[in-house]
Amino acid sequence: MVEKSRTLVLTRGFVLGALLAVGALLTAVGAAQQTPSAASIQVDKVRDNLYVLRGGGPSGNTAAFITAKGVTLVDTKLPGWGRPILEKLKEITEKPVTTIINTHTHFDHVGGNPEFPATVEVVAHENTAALMKEMRPVTGGPAQPDVFKGGTGPGLPKRTFKDRLTLGTGPERIELRYFGRAHTGGDAWIIFPALRAMHTGDAFGTKIVPIIDANNGGSGVEYPKTLARAAALTNIDTLIGGHSATTLTMADLKTYGEFIGEFVQTVQAAKKAGKTIDDVVNTWKVSERFLKEGYVTPEAYEKLARQPMSARVRANAEVIWSETK
Ligand SMILES: [Zn+2]
């Protein structure tokens, strides 16, 4: 009995610790860990039938696309936030959730999946579907909780795609695209063509140094190339970032690709010049150009993530270093 409750306490302590750490890593909002509740979710209307549900944790941004048959959600926040999302949706629509699209495998984006009815169809990129069964640790970050019970629990994707998938028709059409490795190895880009809007997941979370999660298939060298392919899309003018507090633009996406491209080049040049990862970490700074565009400064990053930005820069430099011959 004592042994049992002790295990429970340890497990809860571990999960909470992991939540705090990964939340701090993945988010740019950086609020303290919240108790799940509908009241803590903010609803922003992007279009008449497209909303962003912000907050929750710190969690990823959830999009809600209202169609005649029901609601398609993009991402479901941290574990425990699925039911609050359902409750909050009642303020917007009486329609049921029919579909969940997950942008990638991180648990601040897929954590609420198991709390939705089994009738809800879950869709993801094929690599993400495979990774969700494992919930591997995040590169440079902590372990992820086993949201899907080793790949046997509810809420896993049953429908997957490789390069593209179309859901719905006419004004309710949704396009899922894969442009290559970036934040993870299964980043889906979710386009609402009639609304000229796109959810970018954490491939473009917000204007901050990204996590390059090589352990979940992410790539530093491929990251800017992947963003350039996404930025070449036309007929889109509004972006919902994985963690951004406001909507973003295609110009922001292009700039973000250049921001990461510049970092990749810096790391590769250092390696070729016989320098070390320490040299990169000690000398790299967010360029003036990007600071002017509202990029998160090291000081702001430290406040949000409760760790120096150099820790993420080091993790990213190590990924790019190992990818560079
Ligand atoms: Zn992520």
For 101-123, what is the mean pLDDT? 98
Q: Which residue has the higher pLDDT, 5 or 44?
A: 44
Predicted local confidence at residue 34, as pLDDT = 84
Residues pairing with 54 in the sheet: 42
Dihedrals phi, psi of 236, to nearest 5 degrees: -130, 135
Q: Convert the pLDDT of each residue in 245-261 to its tens digit.
A: 999 999 999 999 999 99
Contact (Cβ atoms closer than 8 angstroms) between residue 204 and residue 239: yes
> Mean pLDDT over all residues of the chain?
91
User: Is the pLDDT score of 32 beyond 70?
Assistant: no
Residue 20 in this model has a pLDDT that exceeds 90? no
What pLDDT was estimated at residue 60?
96
Q: Which of 31-35, 55-59, 79-83, 117-121 has the lowest mean pLDDT?
A: 31-35
Is the pLDDT assigned to residue 213 strictly greater than 50? Answer: yes
- Distances from the Cα of 179 to the Cαs of 41, 65, 228, 235, 324, in angstroms? 30, 22, 9, 17, 21
**Distance from C-alpha of 217 to C-alpha of 233, rounded to nearest angstrom:** 24
Question: What's the CA gap between 27 and 35, in Å, rounded?
Answer: 17
Give, as residue ranges, everything with CB less than 5 Å from ion ligand 1.
106, 202
- Exposed (0-12), middle (13-18) or buried (19+): which is 293, by Cβ within 10 Å? middle
Compute the distance from residue 183 Cα to the ligand 1 centre, in Å.
7
pLDDT value of position 255 = 98
pLDDT in tens, 34-62: 899 999 999 999 999 999 999 997 899 99
| Cα 19 to ligand 1 centroid, rounded to whole Å | 13
Gap from CA of 201 to ligand 1 centroid (Å): 7
Query: Residue 224: enclosing H or E segment and its boundaries?
Result: helix 223-231
Using the mean position of ligand 1's atoms as its centre, give its distance from the Cα of residue 8 in Å.
Answer: 27
66 C-alpha vs ligand 1 centroid, how far in Å?
25
Distance 244 CA to ligand 1 centre (A): 12
102 Cα to the center of ligand 1, angstroms: 11
Q: How far is the CA of 26 from the centre of ligand 1 (A)?
A: 6
- Cα 207 to ligand 1 centre (Å): 14
Asked whether the beta carbons of 239 and 250 are under 8 A apart, the reply is yes
Token output for 23: 């939340």
pLDDT digits (tens, 9 = 90+) for 251-309: 999 999 999 999 999 999 999 999 999 999 999 999 999 999 999 999 999 988 888 99
DSSP state of 202: G
- Whole-number Å distance, alpha carbon 109 to ligand 1 midpoint, is 7
**79 touches 111 (CB < 8 A):** yes
Q: How far apart are CA 191 and CA 321, in angstroms?
A: 33
Please give the distance, rounded to the nearest whole angstrom, from the Cα atom of residue 110 to the centre of ligand 1.
10
pLDDT of residue 192: 98
Do residues 228 and 195 touch, judged by C-beta distance below 8 A? no
